[in-house]
Amino acid sequence: MKQELEKRLVKGPDGVEFEVEPLRDYYCEARPSVHAPAYGKIIEDLFNWARAESLWILGFGTGCGAIEMRPLMTPRFDAYRYGVQWRPTPRQSNLFIISGYLSVKTLKRVIRSYEQMQNPKYVVGLGSCTINGGMYWDSYNTIKRLDDYLPVDLYIAGCMPRPEALLAGFLELKKLIRAGKGEGANKYAQNFDWYKANQKKVIHDWDMPDYNW
């Protein structure tokens, strides 16, 4: 357990001492819940269309694939014309691109970031490493299947996929969302115990709450 996560006494600026237990005080203890479609099909279709046109990506490059996202932000490939943009924090984004190999250490940060994103949220696995381990298939420190740990909506194969492949992937993801198949967050909530068990199987020093809300 890290020192900053331990229970301690803190003296406030007004001189009053109070007890802080970070794992309980800084996080919500509620489990994620399933959000079923609330309206009729016509309204939900409209919602899904709107969701598909607002893909805000979390700017978190987990591996070498992050380098392929940079040209997309520039005029040459210009992903912004498709309603895709990058945001600096998890709270502002709804699409998580796992860009390439994912080490166990990064997986921990990825889980924290994913859980902080707002519903509905989507995960795209980029490159062969997220599919079956890719060239790191026998590595001691990188995971082999991303869908064991997070609900993946779409994979973009390649090592590395070119920016054009990512653009095609975005369009494919839009089709999935418009068809009402972008249900990753609900899948995660439904199989929460299974995902947590898988995550804890590889992350041995689990020093965060089960749900990082």
Query: Residue 148 Cβ, how far from another protein at the closest point, in Å?
Result: 5
Instruction: Please report, as a single letter, which amino acid is at residue 80.
Output: Y
- Residue whose C-alpha is closest to residue 8's, from 16, 38, 17: 17
Phi, psi of 164 (to 5 degrees): -60, -40
Which residues contact residue 152 at a Cβ distance below 8 angstroms, ignoring those fewer than 6 apart? Answer: 98, 123, 124, 125, 130, 146, 184
Query: Measured from the CB atom, is 18 or 140 closer to another protein?
Result: 140
Query: Measured from the CB atom, is 64 or 73 closer to another protein?
Result: 64
Instruction: Please report, as a single letter, which amino acid is at residue 172.
Output: E
Query: Measured from the CB atom, is 93 or 142 closer to another protein?
Result: 142
CB 149 within 8 A of CB 195: yes
Query: Residue 204 Cβ, how far from another protein at the closest point, in Å?
Result: 3
Binding site for another protein (CB under 8 A): 104-105, 108, 131-133, 137-145, 148, 198, 201-206
Query: Measured from the CB atom, is 119 or 198 closer to another protein?
Result: 198
Structure tokens belonging to residue 14: 């007004």
Instruction: Please report, as a single letter, which amino acid is at residue 154.
Output: L
Query: Measured from the CB atom, is 29 or 205 closer to another protein?
Result: 205
